[in-house]
Structure 1
Amino acid sequence: MSTIDGHGLVKAFGRTRAVDGLDLTTSTGVTGLLGPNGAGKTTLLRMLATVTSYDAGSLRVLGHDPQDAAARLAIRRRLGYLPQEAGFHRGFTAFEAVDYIAVLKEHDERRARHAEVRRVLELVGLSDVATTKVGALSGGMRRRLGLAQALLGDPDLLILDEPTVGLDPQQRIRFRDLVAEAGSGRTVLLSTHQTEDVATVCSDVIVIDGGRRVFGGTIDELVDLARDRVWLDDRRDPRALAAWRLGDGSYHHVGDPPDGAQLAPAGIEDAYLVLIGPTAAASDVA
């Protein structure tokens, strides 16, 4: 059974369709969501997290239609959601901030609730700053605090919008381990610009552009799109879809290779550029 099943989803803001006839199906495991800025990723995640309604199409999340008030409540009881901006009150301590969310999630019994808050703070490595005010935490710590509240209650569906923003390399490795473990027995939908995060923890990937899905499949199937379309040269080839200089001074090219080109193995970044085009190279692949 699919955790998320959407068909022909539309969400418009004025004359702009942020989501434009999009189809989406996910089940157990970790699915990566890639797309350039303005592609509609955050709008889509807000719809799935019951924050924003959709204008047309059909959607079932955990078997429920989020347009129905009673169904929204049923979804939220089984959902963990990390938005781009968690919006914690800066005067709360880290413990109080997560405890407040736990109360909203109907963790009514105080002793059990506090044990759960301590559990998720430990998971994200924030136990030692539990009594520190949110306003005194670093940006990376506040991001991990957002992940902690999303993990409350072991939700069946975990929706993460750019969770690695502000994390240093060590914290990102810890995050990947957490997400990989979280994807066992539940559904995780992970929106990110970090293609290495997708390559490391995701079994499947969805690429959207202009509010539409342009790819959905496994990591290997995505990479196949760029196979034999990546080459190296000691000079930048202006005919390439995208090119960048490597540390050894050679140039990595993506596009249609010239005759006799030195082909190189393709990766997720290369396939993403083949799908989205040269505008993605400027800021959307890291």
Structure 2
Amino acid sequence: MTAQMRSGPAARDPEFRGIDPPALDRVIRQLQDAQNAIQGWLNGHRPPPGVPATGYRQADQVALWAADQLGMLTRRYNYAITHPDGGGVDVPPVHAPSPKPSPGGNPGAGGGVQPGRPGATAPRTPSPGTPGTPGRRHPVRPPRHTAPPTSRGAGDLGNFPTRQAAARAARADALAVAAAVRDGDPVPDGVWKHLRANADDPDYTEALYERLGPASAAALVKAAHGDAALLQALRQALGTSSHHLAMDTAWLRAFLAEADREGVRPVAVQVLTGADLSPRTRDALAGLHQKAGG
């Protein structure tokens, strides 16, 4: 790693800050293991009545700290693998870390928001392991090939400090889109503002398109009414999300079918073919006899 940094960007810029994605992946896994071990001990060693719980509370605070760090580190990792310096890195979908430990907590499962048409649901991302379950690993996976250190994710993290914060904002926007489509109202200006500001955010766009599903995503294309700036934001956001969501042939076919029903299939095709899609999604699109321009 040291030799790589000396011969890489740091050799040209002493102020360079970078992330080695495989190394960060190992740190995330180790921290997840530590959090699981602590939470497993806490679950199995409740302090008996009358015994001071000081040590228990201290261990619980460490577990909460680890959960906060996982949200931040996973966000940095997602930026690094989605926007590497000098080219894209194809990786399997990256799922959320275990949420903060809480008594009786149950992480909710994601689902698609429907725009008023039956059968229009988003592909589900496998739920992460229950927090505090020993042996469960953080489901982030490293790139399939060794990539040089990248500056993305090493500094500014966009408009959200953690992956969870980005996902909350995206889910709220997806619900606003679904409500507007259902009621025949314009998509709120605030949603378009958020989309344009976060179109390159891997966590925001992943949660947005996961929640929208292909049908609502097509309805959003229609709601742009041909506005060039909004369509560019949709192209960028869809391309970013494709590096983390399973936008396979079935997803793309459903997206285009809904766009056809909405009368915007040519525009939807332009959004897809102009997006910087992941290699997996690009191959799936080619299977539908379309071609991504990147």
Q: Does TM-score exceed 0.5, indicating one fold?
A: no
Structure whose residues are more often strand by fraction:
1
Structure whose residues are more often helix by fraction:
2
TM-score (norm 1): 0.30
TM-score (norm 2): 0.29
